Amino acid sequence: MAGVLIAWFRNDLRLHDNPALQRAIARCHRDGLSLLPVAWHGPSAPGATRWGFDRVGPHRQAFRAQALAGLGQALRDRGSDLMVCHGAFAQVLADLARQVRAVGLVAQAIDAPEEQAELAALRAQGLDVDAVEHGGLFDAAQLPWAPEAVPEVFTAFRQGVERLGLKPPAPLPVPATLPPWPDSVPRPAVAVADGLLPPGATDGRSSFPYGLPAWRGDEAAAREHLGRYLASDRPSVYKATRNALTGRDFASHWSPWLANGALSVRQVVVELRAMEAERGASDGSYWLWFELLWREHFRWMLRRHGRALFRTQGLRQSAPSAAYDAEAFARWCEGRTGLPLVDAAMRELRHTGFLSNRLRQIVASALIHELRGDWRAGAAWFEACLIDFDVHSNQGNWAYIAGVGTDPRGGRHFNLDRQTREHDPDGDYQRLWAAGAAG
């Protein structure tokens, strides 16, 4: 073999519809290279947050470990393998590249400052990095707008997409074979450990008990879940049920797999459309598409505005009148604010790594508008806790509620009494996650 090409799996832990992997395979075939698939795993990339906790908390680590275990097995089934690295990743990867004399590295491009800095650090070490844009619905070339002119208001974006009838490109198939593992690199002795689960992973109250086989973080479970959900009657009632606080089928629950990339959003749309063709479209199935467009819009907004969306004032001229108070923030994180619905939700989030959309809105609004806390600390806590953490959707939603993103309406303040009356009138949810019962 003439040399080694590294394929770095980032938030695309799958074989189906993986353009970065396909690019790497094509280059190996063209240039007679062997392929070294690698991934990073650990609590923090590249270091702990400025707020004093890890970027990747125990739930997201455990869920990601499941995805990595599945990916490793799928690669081994095709004659290859997966090297999982830990620690200061850019340095580890650059050292590895030197050690195996890699001719280059192919990886998913992620349009967010720290993720871009990771690739920049590798390039600075002399590595030839080929970054492949993917993870969203549309390619830049399909859009009627340049990336820096994608509409800032969601409705204008959606209407533009729908007026043109834009369809995502067809998903790419799972590669039948893979280039050989490099002769010079020993096969990993042990696969990633995916058996150590925090207690909440199997909690019967969880809306996403990823400790159970059907909810594991890997590609096989993701695709089975997608098929099962679309074969059920749930999509047709999605619009009516999506604001529920608990349960396992009030919404699609696709987000954790979309976030770690075990599931491709283009595959989701193909199967959603096939279901509509067979059983008819409904308000619910349209609304699933509508929500996927929100996800897409946040991706383009981060690409357009980058680092500015991570400032306290976001895209505004002046910062909101908020202050970071470590003690008050800790009370919010731990569910000790004295606001019963907020506290119940924060306990669920910490204990299980998942929270319904409605409760995410309520607790974010409470931190920003009730407690006058720093929205960026809240976004960082979500990043640490959520098994579906996605930098675009998380930053976008937090900035939206804080009123510092692209939406012109100036933030969203959810009235807690009203939210409680509408969504938890009998206090069932608050009792479910009451202190003491929370585990």
Ligand X SMILES: Cc1cc2nc3c(=O)[nH]c(=O)nc-3n(C[C@H](O)[C@H](O)[C@H](O)COP(=O)(O)OP(=O)(O)OC[C@H]3O[C@@H](n4cnc5c(N)ncnc54)[C@H](O)[C@@H]3O)c2cc1C
Q: Give the range of 5-13, 36-44, 85-93, 284-292 binding ligand X by CB under 6 A.
A: 284-292
Q: Tell me if 258 contacts ligand X by CB under 6 A.
A: yes
- Taking the complex as a whole, the smallest distance from the CB of residue 227 to ligand X amounts, in Å, to 15
394 binds ligand X (CB under 6 A): yes
Name which of 34 and 393 has its Cβ closer to ligand X: 393
Nearer to ligand X, 107 or 386 (CB): 386
The answer to whether the CB of 267 falls within 8 A of the CB of 229 is no
Alpha carbon distance 373, 388 (integer Å): 23
Binding region for ligand X (CB under 6 A) out of 91-99, 178-186, 289-297, 343-351:
289-297
Interface with ligand X (CB under 6 A), residue from 255, 260, 267, 430: 255
Tell me if 251 contacts ligand X by CB under 6 A: yes
Residue carrying structure tokens 């009356």: 421
291 lies in the binding site for ligand X (CB under 6 A):
yes
Taking the complex as a whole, how short is the minimal distance between the CB of residue 12 and ligand X, in angstroms?
Answer: 15
Q: What burial class does residue 221 get, using C-beta atoms within 10 Å of its C-beta: 0-12 exposed, 13-18 middle, 19+ buried?
A: buried
Q: Which stretch binds ligand X (CB under 6 A): 85-93, 158-166, 215-223, 384-392?
A: 384-392
Q: Which two tokens stand for residue 99?
A: 């050690």
Q: HSE (CB half, 13 Å, CA atoms) of 183?
A: 4
Upper half-sphere CA count for residue 36 (Cβ side, 13 Å): 26
Measured from the CB atom, is 397 or 406 closer to ligand X? Answer: 397
* Residue 101: CB minimum distance to ligand X, A: 38
Q: Which of residues 125-144 bind ligand X (CB under 6 A)?
A: none
Q: Binder to ligand X among 218, 374, 390, 407 (CB under 6 A)?
A: 390
When asked if residue 388 is in the footprint of ligand X (CB under 6 A), the reply is yes
Q: How far is CA 379 from the centre of its chain?
A: 13
Q: Is 292 in the site for ligand X (CB under 6 A)?
A: yes
**Given the complex with ligand X, which of 34 and 255 has the nearer CB atom?**
255
Between the alpha carbon of residue 170 and those of residues 65, 137, 144, 279, 299, the distances in Å are: 28, 10, 19, 21, 19
List binders of ligand X among 223-242 (CB under 6 A). Answer: 242
Choose, by CB under 6 A, the member of 24, 56, 112, 288 that binds ligand X. Answer: 288
- Site residues (CB under 6 A) for ligand X? 242, 251-255, 258-259, 288, 291-292, 294-295, 298, 357, 360-361, 364, 382, 386, 388-390, 393-394, 397-398, 401
